[in-house]
Structure 1
Amino acid sequence: MTVLVVGGSGFLGTELVRQASAAGHRVAATFATRPCDGPEATWHEVDLRDGARVEEVVASLAPCVVINASSGSADWAVTAEGSVRLAMTAVKYDCRLVHVSSDAVFSGSRVHYDESCLPDPVTPYGAAKAAAETGIRLLAPAAVIARTSLIIGGIQSEHVRLVHDLATGSRTGALFTDDVRCPVHVEDLAAALLELAFTGACGVHHLAGKDAVSRHGLGVLIAQRDGLDASRLPEGLRAGTSLSGALDVRLDSRATRAKLRTRVRGVHEFL
């Protein structure tokens, strides 16, 4: 059986490709801008804005599972419309769909969010992710929508790169002490997504770590793990800045974790 990883060249996508291949699946993966030639998958260039190309690839591969790990940031045509277009194609060709969403669909007004909470985004990216969720739930009710948080791993993680750059002085900025999330390790997240893909699960699932930590607190943990001087990490408050987005969003993932064999660790364990 074939697993198609959309966005396979990204940080999460790369780990999904690796784990799916290691589990013995035939793996196909897509890229938008950065070609890949790794032996773990066959690679296909796909722009989610191009409906004909999306259908061409899905029809030719006939995958049993499609995992959408693409990241179009705030580009509505990719993140919202492209994800819905992919869902329509998956339904047409009877493919199991797992869609990766984000805690950015929430405003932070209530801090703690379980799977029953409705999106109330406050950023363009969050709005695009929320729109994708809505379309997928209507068009593909058997799909899994997996909301996650900050994805951590090695230096390929944008959050880890930022900490390294700040600690070495190669980038300016600050890590906020009032910006709180529930980080997840990329290996745990990929394993949980693949597990959900091959079960009867459907609807919204939260896949984040159990520990809430500020951006600065996360940076300190990363610095300590990687042998960097944590005292060099600049800190600040995001409240009062012009930056948009929720301050404190804590995904309650207990219901999903209780269903899984995969252990989704908290940041204080994996760092």
Structure 2
Amino acid sequence: MRFLVTGSNGLVGSRVCALLEKNGHQVVGLGRGARRTGGGYRYVECDLTREQDVSAAIESAAPEVILHPASMTEVDACEKDPELAYAANVNATAAVARSARRLGAHLVHVSTDYVFDGEHGPYDEQAVPNPRGVYAITKSMAEQTARIFVPGCAIARTAVVYGWPAAGRANFGAWLVGALEKGQRVNLFEDQFVSASLADSVAAMVAELGERKLGGIWNTCGAEVVDRVRFGRALCEVFGFDPGLINPVRMADMKLASPRPLRSGLVVDKARAQLRAQPLGLAESLTRFHAAWKAGRGTEEKKP
């Protein structure tokens, strides 16, 4: 099959491209700036906020399936620059979805648990979004935009995606490892509950939604809902770091630019029942994360 993947330099997008290529598909990756990944698939530099460029790139690739993980994910940055967040999350999704509609391509749009207010989590696929803050609102609008132009599309919601290598800016897991490895103390929220998700696992579920051309809403995330302190302590156990470096804090005590859901997390019963790529429990996710980190360190040590 012919696939096009947006955000192919990113944490999820890069892994989706690699997996699809491994599975024998023809892949074109779109990304901002120069290519920063390996692989034999074709890469096209493209600013997704420029609809003419998006349309030209997608029509040239003529994909049967478009996977759209690209977005502006820095929550506080979105709050400080709503125009940029709207362009990156809503306008870009509209450009991609319009092209999918014109070509008759199946669309998988990657979204987030932040579309919920975090008062009654964890949430299943039937829960009604109630976003708070610019990032959350633009991601919720992007979901609706995708469904307007491609009613049969899939919405793949994920949460706190982490992985190694980091692919650009440090994700939560990579940041945590970097700090703990240096013996630095870290503040983690003891009152925010999330479905922390290994990027490789998310990529596998998103790729399957594309390969099988499945539609509807899917929670494609980690299988367990935990607070960030518990996540950090579990990571310390797997990596051999000092759990005493973790300092539990409450979100209300931190001065954050944007609101964040407290009791969030996603229910993965649907994915467990219907997808071959299964959501991973915390222990398995961290074991795989640790293996990737160790392999990466070994590669770095071999460099001259």
* TM-score, structure 2 as length reference: 0.84
* C-alpha distance after superposition, 1:141-197 (max 9, x if no partner): 111010011123325161122212332458775111111101122222111111111
Aligned residues of 1:148 and 1:206 also touching (Cα < 8 A): yes
**Identity rate, percent:** 27
The correspondence for 1:255, drawn from 267, 270, 293, is 270
Aligned residues of 1:152 and 1:184 also touching (Cα < 8 A): yes
Give 2:293's aligned residue.
none
Deviation at 1:258, TM superposition (A): 0.7
Give 2:261's aligned residue.
246
1:70 equivalent in alignment to 2:70: yes
Give 1:87's aligned residue.
97
Give 2:231's aligned residue.
218
Judge which range, 158-167 or 43-52, deviates more: 158-167
Give 1:99's aligned residue.
109
Aligned residues of 1:184 and 1:266 also touching (Cα < 8 A): no
Give 1:39's aligned residue.
39
Listed as ranges, the gaps of 5+ residues in structure 1 are none
Judge which range, 215-224 or 167-176, deviates more: 167-176
- Matched residue type, 1:257: R
- Matched residue type, 2:30: T
Give 1:27's aligned residue.
27
Give 1:54's aligned residue.
54
Deviation at 1:30, TM superposition (A): 1.2
Distance 1:37 1:255 in 2: 32
Give 2:137's aligned residue.
127
Structure 1 residues 62 and 155: CA distance shift in structure 2, 3 A = closer
1:9 equivalent in alignment to 2:38: no
Give 2:82's aligned residue.
none
Give 2:220's aligned residue.
207
Aligned residues of 1:6 and 1:13 also touching (Cα < 8 A): yes
Deviation at 1:233, TM superposition (A): 2.2
Structure 1 consecutive aligned stretches of length 4 or more whose deviation exceeds 4 Å? 168-173
Distance 1:93 1:25 in 2: 18
Structure 1 residues 117 and 138: CA distance shift in structure 2, 3 A = same
The correspondence for 2:158, drawn from 119, 123, 148, is 148
Judge which range, 6-15 or 179-188, deviates more: 179-188
Distance 1:35 1:135 in 2: 28
Deviation at 1:205, TM superposition (A): 1.0
1:18 equivalent in alignment to 2:18: yes
Structure 1 residues 260 and 175: CA distance shift in structure 2, 3 A = same
Distance 1:92 1:204 in 2: 22
Distance 1:129 1:46 in 2: 20
Aligned residues of 1:207 and 1:257 also touching (Cα < 8 A): no
- Matched residue type, 1:158: N
* C-alpha distance after superposition, 1:42-75 (max 9, x if no partner): 1111111101000101111101111001122331
Distance 1:173 1:228 in 2: 12
Give 1:268's aligned residue.
283
Give 2:289's aligned residue.
none
SS of structure 2 residue aligned to 1:120: coil
Structure 1 residues 118 and 154: CA distance shift in structure 2, 3 A = same
Distance 1:154 1:39 in 2: 17
Aligned residues of 2:18 and 2:39 also touching (Cα < 8 A): no
What count of residue pairs does the alignment treat as equivalent?
Answer: 271
The correspondence for 2:122, drawn from 90, 98, 112, is 112
Listed as ranges, the gaps of 5+ residues in structure 2 are 79-84, 287-304
The correspondence for 1:183, drawn from 185, 192, 196, is 196
Judge which range, 197-206 or 155-164, deviates more: 155-164
RMSD of aligned Cα (Å) = 1.8
